Structure 1
Amino acid sequence: MTANTPTLITFVVYIALMIFIGLAAYRSTNNLSDYILGGRSLGSFVTALSAGASDMSGWLLMGLPGAIYLSGVSESWIAIGLIAGAWLNWLFVAGRLRVHTEHNGNALTLPDYFSSRFEDNSRVLRLLSAVIILVFFTIYCASGIVAGARLFESTFGLSYETALWAGAAATIAYTLIGGFLAVSWTDTVQASLMIFALILTPVLVLVSTGGFDQTVAVIEAQNVEYLDMFKGASFVGVISLMAWGLGYFGQPHILARFMAIDSVKSIPAARRIGMAWMILCLAGAVAVGFFGIAYFQAHPEQVGPVSENPERIFIELTKWLFNPWVTGVLLSAILAAVMSTLSCQLLVCSSALTEDFYKAFLRPHAGERELVWFGRVMVLVVALVAILMATNPDNRVLGLVSYAWAGFGAAFGPVVLISVLWKGMTRNGALAGMLVGAVTVIVWKQNGWLGLYEIIPGFIFASIAILLFSKLGKAPSSTMLQRFDAADKEYQAAHRL
């Protein structure tokens, strides 16, 4: 064991708290709607923090600070793009998706919504979207398990194999037991822990380096390009980083939070809370990496682990700057970031298998209790597959996260966005958009044309395909138009209040 006793105790207490929340949520889970969407009962605060925590994985406390430490503020374009994308998602999609899913058969999952919204009796849309979710999210889950294993490995000196199971076990337990409510309630705790860590750490770094002006002067003296937003950045490079924000429109685990809020009237408050949390967290992560440059310049004897792996900068700063008990709490924030994203991804996979395969194709008349327990078993199955994928720490799973983000963003983003804004969209348009978006991402990624992030052409071509095939094919039915108008009327009425 390399970790001291206080750090170990705080980790154990934190994990025990998450499992206790899972058991509490178990008592409130009575049917499939409760397990998948929490009975659409989330308030503004829980929705906002749950959406934020499920979005920001270990990348927030490890990847982003590490990139800023290496290259300076020019790496922060991705944070700007994410903030813009998240705000637009809250503004245009959140409220509309909440009412449209309810008006379309009280849809519990995205494939369920697509199938009902476009009256797809062939169920091709449901099948295709469920397959996309399972493929990309299993990769996502594997990457989260690898990140958790790396944290346990470096903090406690465990072997990679032991750390793999230790990191995954707690998340699997509370997700399996409590479902969506457990995931959302734990996300709220985890989001609070993350923002606490990302505000406190850069403040302590500044105190130790002599204040803001002196810290910036040290960084500038070391390399003036660290302060240049455009250092080594081409137009295509900046656009590609900012285009990460486009991915928000198609991320099932984030969209599920919008579907689960108690009322469309709660969306504006949730948006304000969620965006404030996100801006503070991203600014804190950038500050950790940026101010860390000055800290390790002043303490070269401590820089070894960070030079070896820049993503360890947050871990090393907390170890050197804080009391061991506080360090344990702050390192738990990294575990919180990993667990919050992994848990909701496991649940979305379970939901797709339960609602969109088992219930839709195998057991259409299955009872609620049977479906909930099947969902729990599927959490375990998906988790075990992800753990098997993660057993080789040198595989390319982590590198595929941006690929999966682009895949969801291009395959689902335009379909979701246009489906809640335009009543003229049809099943053929949705199918064409989904296929064109996914295929474009795959082909563009393989060829790397123009050095452009594949989500940009994928999103553009998918949108064109939706408009083209919706106009060329059979017009929407009268019932489709009626449901759209009813949902839109409800949204506009709530929006005016």
Structure 2
Amino acid sequence: MIENSFAITATFIFYLAVMLFIGYYAYKRTSNTSDYFLGGRTLGPWPAALSAGASDMSGWLLLGLPGYAYVAGIEALWLAGGLLIGSWANWLITAKRLRTYSITADDSLTLPEFISRRFNDKTKLLQTISAFFILMFFLFYTSSGLVAGGKLFETVFGLDYTYAVIIGATCIVSYTLFGGFLAVSWTDLVQGLLMSAALVIVPIVVMQEGFDQLSTNLANINPELLTLWHGIDGEPLSWIAIVSLVAWGLGYFGQPHILARFLATRSNKDLTKARRIAVSWTVLSIFGSVMVGLVGLVFVQGNLGMEVVDGEKIFMILVNAVFHPIPAGILLAAILAAIMSTADSQLLVSSSALAEDFYKQLLRPQASSKEVLMVGRLGVILLSLLALYFALDPDSSVLSLVSYAWAGFGAAFGPVLILSIYWKRMNRNGALAGLIVGGATIVIWKQLTGGIFDLYEIVPGIIFATTAIVLTSLATAKPEKSITDQFEAFEKNLKEFD
């Protein structure tokens, strides 16, 4: 438990009060499903950029990635570099085309709805399978956020892990339930700024002796911490290890909670500004996160003379050791910000899949907008309870839970989405094959170990899914004329919207 918890507790309470106020304000502006799931497509460049970044990075940015750098050294830069390139490429390649095509395709509000309308799937099979994968993988992703919250409240307040997870889940659900997309996006703006500030401030304050001394201290602990090409045991990193780390960047193209920000942005011109903001934020945040792990390793061994069993708690330990309780409370609230900013987005996308893609499409096509909105809010509660069940294991790793869900979305949706907005010849059967092959590969590959099966499952998932889409589309009939006409209209709109 962290000392001086009264000041920290007061800071946390104030922070939560501000977030709940934003949620209530957004609730007053939410009247229909378009408002609830996409904020009425009114996001400007700053909330779009920082909401996408904050919902992307989650608790693993302040727990999982520093924890990995703590145990692996600058080997973590392979992961950081892959994520940075992937984030930039996603904004550049996907954002404008997806936003434009979603409007062309009858103003699609959700990713499954867009995929279904893109290929005029009257059977609704594409939409149903898409929603199924969203619900399945988001259970693991949301659970990772609740695990991070449990570790935070357990470390800061000395709470029992189970109670800590429940408290964190309650905070997240409270404002997601009422505010919807606007609450999530506006709070993400605040949370994103807080996260990046914390990740820049903490290593600078702790690393008072400068970078050269940090390198010397790391070398004294283990010189292998300073090489990109060897593990900490001195053995060369295999190509499987390097590719697995860099390949995290491929996951960006299929993350529904990030892609939703593209759909919700006010204009295509705003997306250009948002890309620059988002990439700048990502550079600061990711490399600050790696520095927290490296600086933390030197500090706890040199200044505190201790070993940290759970590296994912290194940020919290540094903050407690170096800062006064009041700024410490603000910095620790950044962890809560990271957790809430992603878990709320995941719950919202999941509830939209449940309400729009299952309930309205399969059970009650005649359901009114208010009825779908109510189902979406009930879905937030149901899904959070399921995620809570998976999060109750105190030995869960934030990074491992995120890696599985990240790969699942990247392989199931990434190839389908990219090809659907660039390839006119792609048809419904190809999209269906890509979804099934991509998602199934992740589930199966994850169960196998040894040799090539140690490769991060997102790599074979994307390769197999892309192959399935191309071969199936070419082997079956060309898209019907209405679909090709829609694609041509999309290309025209793309020029007009720019």
TM-score category of the 2 structures, normalised to the smaller one: over 0.9
Is it true that 1:227 corresponds to 2:231 in the alignment? no
CA deviation string 1:402-427 (max 9, x = no partner): 12211111111000000011111100
Whole-angstrom distance in 2 between the partners of 1:329 and 1:226: 31
* Deviation (angstroms), 1:397: 8.2
Whole-angstrom distance in 1 between the partners of 2:198 and 2:182: 24
DSSP 3-state at the match of 1:481: helix
> Which residue does 2:276 correspond to in 1?
272
Letter in 2 for 1:51: A
Matches within 5 A, 1:23-422: 23-207=24-208, 210-232=209-231, 233-301=237-305, 303-304=306-307, 307-394=308-395, 399-422=400-423
Whole-angstrom distance in 2 between the partners of 1:368 and 1:214: 61
Letter in 1 for 2:466: S
- Which of 476, 480, 484 is matched with 1:477 structurally? 480
Letter in 2 for 1:139: F
Change (3 A) 1:400 1:62: closer
Whole-angstrom distance in 1 between the partners of 2:200 and 2:412: 35
TM-score (norm 1): 0.96
Letter in 2 for 1:294: V
* Deviation (angstroms), 1:480: 0.9
Single out whichever of 114-123 and 382-391 deviates more from structure 2.
382-391
8 Å Cα contact 2:351/2:377 also seen in 1: yes
* Deviation (angstroms), 1:132: 0.7
Whole-angstrom distance in 2 between the partners of 1:396 and 1:201: 23
DSSP 3-state at the match of 1:483: helix
Whole-angstrom distance in 2 between the partners of 1:384 and 1:222: 43
Letter in 1 for 2:259: L
* Deviation (angstroms), 1:236: 1.6
8 Å Cα contact 2:150/2:168 also seen in 1: yes
> Which residue does 2:463 correspond to in 1?
460
8 Å Cα contact 1:390/1:397 also seen in 2: no
* Deviation (angstroms), 1:147: 1.5
Alignment RMSD (CA, Å)? 1.5
Whole-angstrom distance in 1 between the partners of 2:348 and 2:483: 29
Whole-angstrom distance in 1 between the partners of 2:460 and 2:77: 22
8 Å Cα contact 2:2/2:320 also seen in 1: no
8 Å Cα contact 2:120/2:483 also seen in 1: yes
Whole-angstrom distance in 1 between the partners of 2:278 and 2:426: 30
Whole-angstrom distance in 2 between the partners of 1:8 and 1:400: 28
* Deviation (angstroms), 1:271: 0.4
DSSP 3-state at the match of 2:228: coil
Letter in 1 for 2:216: A
Letter in 1 for 2:223: V
8 Å Cα contact 1:139/1:397 also seen in 2: no
* Deviation (angstroms), 1:366: 1.8
Letter in 1 for 2:495: Q
8 Å Cα contact 2:147/2:396 also seen in 1: no
Letter in 2 for 1:219: L
DSSP 3-state at the match of 1:271: helix
CA deviation string 1:188-219 (max 9, x = no partner): 11101001101111110122xx2222222222
Whole-angstrom distance in 2 between the partners of 1:147 and 1:68: 17
CA deviation string 1:94-140 (max 9, x = no partner): 11000111111111111101110001011111111111111111222
* Deviation (angstroms), 1:340: 0.7
Letter in 1 for 2:230: K
Single out whichever of 42-51 and 391-400 deviates more from structure 2.
391-400
Letter in 1 for 2:210: G
Letter in 2 for 1:293: L
* Deviation (angstroms), 1:71: 1.9
CA deviation string 1:157-210 (max 9, x = no partner): 111222122111111000001000000011111101001101111110122xx2
* Deviation (angstroms), 1:438: 1.5
* Deviation (angstroms), 1:399: 3.2
Change (3 A) 1:219 1:390: closer
DSSP 3-state at the match of 2:30: coil
DSSP 3-state at the match of 2:426: coil
* Deviation (angstroms), 1:322: 0.9
Whole-angstrom distance in 2 between the partners of 1:410 and 1:323: 45
8 Å Cα contact 1:114/1:125 also seen in 2: yes
* Deviation (angstroms), 1:66: 1.6
8 Å Cα contact 2:60/2:398 also seen in 1: no
Ranges in structure 2 where 5+ consecutive residues have no aligned partner: 232-236
CA deviation string 1:212-266 (max 9, x = no partner): 2222222223322211111132122111110011111111111111111011121
Whole-angstrom distance in 2 between the partners of 1:168 and 1:29: 23
- Which of 484, 492, 496 is matched with 2:495 structurally? 492
Whole-angstrom distance in 2 between the partners of 1:68 and 1:137: 25
Letter in 1 for 2:54: A
Whole-angstrom distance in 2 between the partners of 1:466 and 1:57: 31
Whole-angstrom distance in 2 between the partners of 1:134 and 1:152: 27
* Deviation (angstroms), 1:332: 0.4
DSSP 3-state at the match of 2:31: coil
* Deviation (angstroms), 1:493: 4.2
DSSP 3-state at the match of 1:108: coil
Whole-angstrom distance in 1 between the partners of 2:61 and 2:20: 23
* Deviation (angstroms), 1:474: 1.3
8 Å Cα contact 2:63/2:398 also seen in 1: no
Ranges in structure 1 where 5+ consecutive residues have no aligned partner: none
Change (3 A) 1:430 1:43: same
CA deviation string 1:374-398 (max 9, x = no partner): 2111111111121123233346886
Whole-angstrom distance in 2 between the partners of 1:462 and 1:411: 7
**% identical equivalent positions:** 50
* Deviation (angstroms), 1:59: 1.0
> Which residue does 2:234 correspond to in 1?
none
